[in-house]
Homo-oligomer: A and B are copies of this chain.
């Protein structure tokens, strides 16, 4: 019989039973989007590297003097010998230009009372205004970014500002995707009216790709137990992760499970009390993680999203691998089977969430997937009311129209 563990328990068993890699490589930042840092990033320089003006304006040493002689113009990038400025002097200075050490305040041109070629007249202004002090943001030597952090464009900005162009990142797992079932045709093959296509391999590969994992589609598992045992044995020496779909429930043709056992698979679980997606098995086969997903494309995709992706992130050394969620108001009430957990598809838009077709879609309906942008995972409940739900968006994404301003 299949296990009857909860979805939460399945998630915990996936996460708790895998270990992060310690293999890393060196990579150019330019190619590192979506990789996970295998080192703390230490600041190579102060930020700002020198005290500089935050505005185009006039820099001076704060004093009682209100009429100041303009003695020099300093542009961003100008290099010059440091000099001492007098109380009745100022420099014209551009945004980002280095401030001579005597100067402690900058006034923007539009705030001056009078501006001439040779002098300016200024109002009262706070000492220290419009100057950015050396090291006020970052001190050389401090930890800037933690090991395990994902490299995002925001991180690229920070790395670039430090002149860091090469970083150590964890090596991502080598992933194989298999599918089962003689009946399947590949999407690029001709299929007669009664043949169906291999959806899972391609959908899961795309999902992995979006999450910055690469995978090889190995093909369809052979249709005999003996051959399957050999086939899997061969793969486990070559791949860190083996993803299959179909074949682990109790139909006669489902001998994948047996082939895994013969290859000494140690299960984390086999079977989750969830709709859809019950026939799912996860375990380790020597050093390879096995994710045996359901044959049904919808179930398979949802478990890949909710269970596989976080597990792969942990294996890959990511610091963060629990899905972030948003709160959203459920627009329509619907019933669920109280004996099961549920992974439910719907549309999240601007703070509201609506279940797809009143939760009356089947676990083979891919239109439920293509028309949804988010997942709601529920416990054993009889119905979901017009309540505030925790929603996991596939992607924060865009919509046809929205007012995202806080007026």
Contact = CB atoms under 8 A, between A and B. Distances in A.
A312 B366 CA distance: 29
B163 A187 contact: yes
Nearest to A182: B77
A369 interface: yes
A132 interface: yes
A85 interface: no
Interface in A361-407: 362-367, 369-370, 372-373, 376-379, 381, 384, 389-390, 392-407
Interface string A292-333: 000111000100000000100100001111111111100000
Contact of A54 (B8, B189, B362): B362
Contacts of A373: 154
Of the candidates A49, A209, A325, the one having the most CB atoms from chain B within 10 angstroms of its own CB is: A325
A199 interface: yes
Nearest to A253: B75
Contacts of A198: 160
A358 interface: no
B398 A56 contact: no
A76 interface: yes
Contact of A295 (B95, B145, B193, B295): B95
A183 B370 contact: no
A157 B369 contact: yes
Contacts of A29: 187, 202
Category for how many chain A residues contact B: 35 or more
Interface in A180-232: 181-185, 187-189, 191, 193-199, 202-203, 205-207, 209-210
B297 A161 contact: yes
A101 interface: no
A77 B297 contact: no
B378 A405 contact: yes
Contacts of A205: 30
A313 B206 CA distance: 21
A369 B327 contact: no
Contacts of A252: 73, 75, 92, 94
A193 B161 contact: no
Given A162-B197, A310-B398, 17 more contacts: A33-B209, A48-B364, A50-B193, A54-B362, A92-B252, A137-B367, A152-B210, A154-B373, A157-B369, A161-B197, A162-B187, A324-B349, A324-B393, A324-B404, A377-B405, A381-B406, A390-B406
